[in-house]
Amino acid sequence: MSVIGMERPGASSGAKQRALLSEWWSHPLASYYLVLASVVMLSAFGLIAVASASSVWSHFDDGNSWSYTVRHLAFMGGGTVLVLVMSRTNEVFLRRIAWVGFFLAALLLMLVFVPGIGREYYGNQSWVDIGFTQFQPSEPTKIALVLWSATMFAQWQRRLDDLRWLWVFLPGSGLLVALVAAERDLGTSCVLVAIMLAMLWFVGAPLLKVILPICSAALAGFVALVAIAPERMSRFAVFFADLPVVGRLFDGVAASTSDQPLNSVYGLASGGWWGLGIGASRQKWGGLYNGAQTDYIFSVLGEEHGLFGSLLVIGVFGVLIMAGIRISTRSATMFYKMTAIGVTAWFGVQAVVNIFVALNLMPVVGLPLPFLSYGGSALLAEAMAVGVLLACARHEPQAITALRAKRVAAPVVTGVVAAPRAR
């Protein structure tokens, strides 16, 4: 019997699945839904992880094992409002508030040093106390830097070959980085520099004349921030002490007695393939100290959900980063391109650094895991950035056409929602 022309079992179904996937990927709003779905998944993981990881420290702190979880839920509610509001904005509005955000961020960073207002925790002078609450100005500074930088590049897009624009960009962005560095906030300083470099690289700034000198200056500042902080120097000494050649540089440096990094690895290893179960983490009972719900939340997640859960979270971050790059490459204006790449670099770098710290692949620098770690300032700033990224996705050329067609096809929807927006 001839088999010529016969289809292999499952061939047609596989072709249909590929066709459906290709059709979905080419959908005008695919970028929008990829960002939205990945952020919702990460936030859901974060709520579960915070509820478990913070229970011990929360009980120790104020006698209520659920107080941190309730606060996290409140921040998520506020963040949801910010996402909805910012996702409906457009380039005109965002460019108008960019300079306001820049100066407001600089002012708030300066307030950190005002006696009676600024607060120091764990060696970082990075909190502002306004009576009824405290917050970290360095967190909203990230989105302020992204919007201000994107506005600058949009204004100079026809003169980028003339490097005189650097005389405005470098002092402005450098001011924000310097203020955060003066707070001794090493982690956030690194993220701000990473945002700068990503946007400069994407806009085509010269490697030898611009990017490498900035990298050299950032490296020198990084070393200085480590050297002037005994606790941070101690942590770096512990990390590098066992390395050949490099370890000799830390001979005689007092080693930290903190065993957080080692306990973090223990937690991840004990999780196995599928984890110990929700709430069953052992390291949150003291091994990770006060970092279980912040810097080391990935360790608790890996311990309770295993390798599968850890890889799932990493995969979702990969989808978010891929969607951000896709938005940047598909955007029609320089402002949207640069805004999308700035937000993507922020989320990507911060997630990689936090996960590497949890795996003990780099020293502790004090960065939360986006959407998962406990912390109101960080969560609200990230929500604002997500809203801006969704706004960029909604203004892809094909997305604009699809949304306008949808409005025309649904005349029953009236009022502000159905009204065409200024582009």
Number of folded domains that form the chain: 1
Mean pLDDT of 212-238: 84
* 108, 57, 367, 288: CA torsion to nearest 10: 150
Residue 1 has pLDDT above 90, yes or no: no
pLDDT at 86: 97
Report if residue 419 sits inside a domain: no
Residue 255 has pLDDT above 80, yes or no: no
Q: How confident is the model at residue 423 (pLDDT cuts 50, 70, 90)?
A: very low
pLDDT-wise least confident of 66-75, 154-163, 201-210: 154-163
pLDDT at 295: 92
Q: Which two tokens stand for residue 19?
A: 């066709």
pLDDT-wise least confident of 58-62, 273-277, 336-340, 391-395: 58-62
Query: Residue 299 is part of which domain span?
Result: 30-395
Q: Give the closest residue to 94 by CA, choosing from 422, 325, 404, 350.
A: 422
Q: Report helix, strand and coil shares of the chain as percent, to nearest 5.
A: 70, 5, 30
pLDDT at 159: 75
Q: Please tell me whether residue 55 adopts helix, strand or coil conformation.
A: helix
Q: How confident is the model at residue 57 (pLDDT cuts 50, 70, 90)?
A: confident
Question: Average pLDDT over the chain, rounded to whole?
Answer: 86
- d(CA 189, CA 180) in angstroms, rounded, equals 6
- d(CA 392, CA 336) in angstroms, rounded, equals 6
pLDDT at 415: 38
Q: Please measure the distance between the N-terminal and C-terminal CA atoms of the chain and give it in whole angstroms.
A: 64
Facing residues of 419 across strands? none
Residue 252 has phi, psi (to 5 degrees) of: 90, -10
Residue type, 343: V
Residue 8 has pLDDT above 80, yes or no: no
pTM of the model: 0.89
Report if residue 57 sits inside a domain: yes
Residue 410 has pLDDT above 60, yes or no: no
Residue 16 has pLDDT above 60, yes or no: yes
Report if residue 11 sits inside a domain: no
pLDDT tens-digit profile of 107-129?
Answer: 999 999 998 888 887 777 888 98
pLDDT-wise least confident of 42-46, 165-169, 280-284, 315-319: 165-169
Mean pLDDT of 78-99: 96
pLDDT at 385: 98
pLDDT at 25: 76
Q: Give how far Cα 188 sits from Cα of 3, 68, 112, 140, 191, Å.
A: 64, 23, 15, 11, 5
pLDDT at 160: 75
138-156 helix and 376-394 helix, angle to the nearest 10 degrees = 30
Please give the angle made by the CA atoms of 27, 204 and 399, to the nearest 5 degrees: 15
Of 63 and 257, which is predicted with more confidence? 63
Residue type, 141: T
Report if residue 409 sits inside a domain: no
Residue 242 has pLDDT above 70, yes or no: no
pLDDT at 132: 76
Report if residue 24 sits inside a domain: no
List the 124-129 sheet strands across, edge first.
Answer: 118-121, 124-129, 134-135
Q: Give the closest residue to 69 by CA, choosing from 226, 335, 297.
A: 297
What is the full DSSP assignment across 283-329?
GGGTTTGGGTTTTTHHHHHHHHHHHHHHHHHHHHHHHHHHHHHHHHH
Residue type, 6: M
pLDDT at 3: 45
pLDDT at 20: 73
Report if residue 337 sits inside a domain: yes
pLDDT tens-digit profile of 139-150?
Answer: 999 999 999 999
Report if residue 153 sits inside a domain: yes
pLDDT-wise least confident of 152-166, 187-201, 206-220, 338-352: 152-166
pLDDT tens-digit profile of 278-302?
Answer: 999 999 998 888 889 999 999 999 9
pLDDT tens-digit profile of 315-334?
Answer: 999 999 999 999 999 999 99
Q: Which residue shows structure tokens 């490498």?
A: 212
pLDDT-wise least confident of 114-128, 155-169, 237-251, 316-330: 237-251
Report if residue 4 sits inside a domain: no
Mean pLDDT of 156-176: 86
Residue 253 has pLDDT above 60, yes or no: no
Residue 416 has pLDDT above 70, yes or no: no
Of 24 and 354, which is predicted with more confidence? 354
